[in-house]
């Protein structure tokens, strides 16, 4: 107790500024190095290394009344926010350009107020939702750090877009300009990318969802162009549609609101495709030129994104492989029972290969220290099942944890396919890249096979289960492999 009180007194002498400095210097958390630390920082280091659950980890400790960003509630709440923001993305520019009668009805105003109230609630939820520190990769639970991150991020945009200021203003140009602040809600639609990324699905399916997201963004963009297009035309009413251009007169401005919207929507698609729309007035020329310039950049971006997404989707496309296999089996008149086994094998091997690539990609994007922690989590239970570590477990639990952690840090992952030969009987060391290792099974099982060179048959000796190891005899005695190990 006396030591804890002394440490607490030392902690009180360390300023909040010193703590914030340590949080920003994220490499400190990875390396636990005292190099280049000030005297106050060294004191903080010494205190927190020796006290479990210390102040330095307080920012990443789960708290009450703080919502985890990966929670199910947050997922569905974001879906609702995206839907409401999408509704605004279509109604706000339409109301500004066409001034429909339904925009002044009590039902629409009730929906308008309800959406803005939900968006204000969204601001409150964002102030109590964890986020990932991009420097350290830690999930931040500290309320002050969450608020600071949100205020320096998109808080201002969310707040301005949620304020219904235009309702209290009289009709006029100033009210129209203020109404355009609602277009800032488009930032909330961008959460769709985060939602798709958080889904636990195959990479090729994610690629198709991203293509759908891109198509949705294009629809919103074309709709906004159509509304700007019409809002510009009604200023001078000098523009003529292509069909009426030879006659010099048009009935476009006398059409119903629906027909006018469909007409400008068609010309907005033409603008998006960088086609000519024959502007007449000077204002039309200026606005249409700007929209053509923006559309050219959007087109270039869209084609680039589509190329990347199609490439990702094709990586996981199994149709061609299955189609070729089905054709071959059909030509060979393979029995249906055997065909099913072949298809199951192809499916399993394809999934295993994809899992290996995803795991390797995951490890490539995290720090070595975090990789060690993840591998400890993956292999800890399997290693404890091994006979080598059984006596350590009974003698000293703390020492066991250290030894297992050190052992796991030296492991590499090999994902084997069904019937793969991991070790072949009679093979010498250095004869293949995998012959200079010994192995431990963490999931699945393997079979020990001994070749009988007299009777020319394979003897299945035993099955190896999670926690079992093999391959150490040849390494210890520098001899050839004595048996084969088959998955």
How does pLDDT run across 351-397, given as a tens digit for each residue? 666 677 777 777 777 777 777 778 777 777 777 777 777 666 555 66
- φ/ψ of 58, rounded to 5, equals -60, -30
* Cα distance between residue 251 and residue 281, in whole Å: 18
Rounded to an integer, the average pLDDT of 225-245 is: 86
Q: Nearest 10 degrees: CA dihedral of 10, 12, 13, 14?
A: 100
- Helix, strand or coil, per DSSP, at residue 465: coil
Query: Which residues does residue 450 pair with via DSSP β-bridges, in sequence order?
Result: 459
* Cα distance between residue 389 and residue 250, in whole Å: 88
Rounded to an integer, the average pLDDT of 447-458 is: 78
Angle among Cα 226, 291, 92 to the nearest 5 degrees reads: 40
* Cα distance between residue 119 and residue 85, in whole Å: 9
Give the pLDDT of residue 221. Answer: 92
Query: Looking only at Cα atoms, what is the longest distance across the chain?
Result: 101
10 vs 151, higher pLDDT: 151
Give the pLDDT of residue 293. Answer: 93
Give the pLDDT of residue 486. Answer: 83
CA-to-CA dists, residue 102 to 94, 111, 302, angstroms: 11, 12, 35
Query: For the packed helices 203-236 and 282-315, what is the interaxial angle rounded to 10 degrees?
Result: 170
Q: Which H or E run includes 139?
A: strand 139-140
297 vs 468, higher pLDDT: 297
Q: What is the pTM of this model?
A: 0.60
The tokens for 29 are 């958390």
Residue 467 pLDDT level (bands cut at 50, 70, 90): confident
pLDDT digits (tens, 9 = 90+) for 169-182: 555 554 566 666 66
Contact 350, 318 (CB under 8 A): yes
Alpha helices in 141-272 (DSSP H): 143-151, 155-162, 173-179, 186-189, 191-198, 203-236, 257-272
Rounded to an integer, the average pLDDT of 44-50 is: 44
Residue 434 pLDDT level (bands cut at 50, 70, 90): low
Each residue of 308-328: b (16+ CB within 10 Å) or e? ebeebbeebeeeeeeeebeee
The yes-or-no verdict on residue 219 having pLDDT over 90 is yes
Give the pLDDT of residue 137. Answer: 65
Give the pLDDT of residue 397. Answer: 65
Give the pLDDT of residue 37. Answer: 45
DSSP type of residue 67: B
Angle among Cα 127, 133, 79 to the nearest 5 degrees reads: 50
Q: In terms of C-beta density within 10 A (0-12 exposed, 13-18 middle, 19 or more buried), how is residue 110 classed?
A: exposed
Give the pLDDT of residue 450. Answer: 83
4 vs 105, higher pLDDT: 105
pLDDT digits (tens, 9 = 90+) for 63-97: 778 888 888 888 899 899 889 988 988 888 898 88
The yes-or-no verdict on residue 313 having pLDDT over 50 is yes
Give the pLDDT of residue 121. Answer: 92
Residue 274 pLDDT level (bands cut at 50, 70, 90): confident
Contact 54, 151 (CB under 8 A): no
The tokens for 360 are 């390797």
Closest CA to 116 of 192, 64, 168: 168
The yes-or-no verdict on residue 223 having pLDDT over 90 is yes
User: Which position has the token pair 């920003």?
Assistant: 24
Average model confidence (pLDDT) for the chain? 75
* Cα distance between residue 440 and residue 252, in whole Å: 77
The yes-or-no verdict on residue 224 having pLDDT over 70 is yes
Which range is most confident: 50-54, 110-114, 238-242? 110-114
59 vs 336, higher pLDDT: 336
* Cα distance between residue 393 and residue 404, in whole Å: 10
The tokens for 371 are 């990789």
* Cα distance between residue 252 and residue 258, in whole Å: 12
CA-to-CA dists, residue 335 to 288, 322, 332, angstroms: 65, 16, 9
Q: Which H or E run includes 172?
A: none
């Amino acid at each position: 107790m006396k030591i804890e009180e002394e440490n607490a007194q030392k902690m009180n002498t360390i300023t909040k500024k010193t703590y914030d400095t340590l949080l920003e210097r994220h490499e400190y958390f990875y390396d636990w190095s005292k190099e280049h630390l000030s005297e106050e920082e060294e004191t903080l280091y010494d205190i927190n290394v020796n006290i479990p659950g210390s102040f330095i980890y307080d920012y990443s400790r789960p708290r009450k009344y703080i919502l985890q960003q990966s929670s199910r509630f947050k997922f569905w709440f974001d879906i609702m926010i995206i839907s409401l923001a999408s509704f605004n993305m279509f109604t706000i520019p339409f109301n500004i350009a066409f001034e429909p009668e339904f925009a002044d009805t009590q039902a629409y105003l009730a929906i308008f107020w309800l959406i803005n109230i939900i968006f204000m609630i969204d601001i409150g939820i964002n102030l109590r939702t964890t986020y990932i520190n991009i420097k350290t990769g830690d999930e931040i639970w500290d309320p002050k750090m969450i608020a600071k991150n949100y205020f320096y991020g998109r808080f201002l945009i969310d707040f301005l877009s949620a304020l219904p200021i235009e309702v209290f203003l009289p009709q006029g140009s100033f009210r129209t300009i203020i109404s355009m602040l609602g277009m800032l809600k488009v930032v909330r639609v961008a959460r769709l990318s985060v939602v798709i990324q958080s889904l636990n699905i195959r990479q090729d399916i994610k690629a198709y969802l991203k293509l759908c997201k891109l198509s949705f963004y294009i629809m919103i963009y074309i709709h906004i162009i159509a509304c700007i297009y019409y809002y510009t035309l009604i200023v001078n009413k000098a523009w003529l549609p292509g069909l009426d251009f030879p006659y010099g007169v048009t009935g476009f401005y006398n059409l119903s609101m629906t027909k006018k919207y469909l007409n400008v929507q068609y010309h907005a698609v033409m603008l998006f495709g960088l086609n000519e729309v024959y502007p007449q007035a000077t204002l039309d020329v200026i606005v249409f030129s700007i929209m053509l310039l923006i559309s050219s950049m959007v087109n270039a971006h869209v084609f680039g994104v589509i190329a990347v997404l199609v490439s990702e989707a094709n990586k996981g496309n199994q149709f061609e492989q299955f189609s070729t296999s089905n054709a071959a089996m059909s030509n060979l008149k393979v029995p249906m029972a055997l065909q099913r086994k072949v298809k199951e094998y192809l499916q399993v091997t394809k999934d295993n290969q994809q899992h290996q690539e995803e795991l390797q990609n995951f490890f490539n994007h995290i720090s070595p220290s975090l990789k060690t922690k993840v591998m400890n989590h993956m292999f800890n239970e399997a290693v404890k099942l091994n006979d080598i570590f059984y006596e350590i477990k009974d003698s000293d639990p703390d020492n066991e944890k250290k030894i297992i952690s050190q052992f796991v840090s030296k492991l590499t992952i090999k994902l084997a396919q069904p019937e793969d030969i991991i070790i072949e009987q009679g093979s010498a060391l250095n004869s293949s890249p995998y012959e200079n290792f010994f192995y431990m099974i963490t999931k699945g099982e393997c079979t020990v096979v001994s070749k009988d060179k007299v009777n020319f048959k394979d003897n299945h000796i035993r099955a190896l289960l999670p926690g079992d190891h093999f391959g150490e005899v040849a390494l210890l005695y520098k001899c050839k492999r004595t048996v084969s190990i088959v998955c």
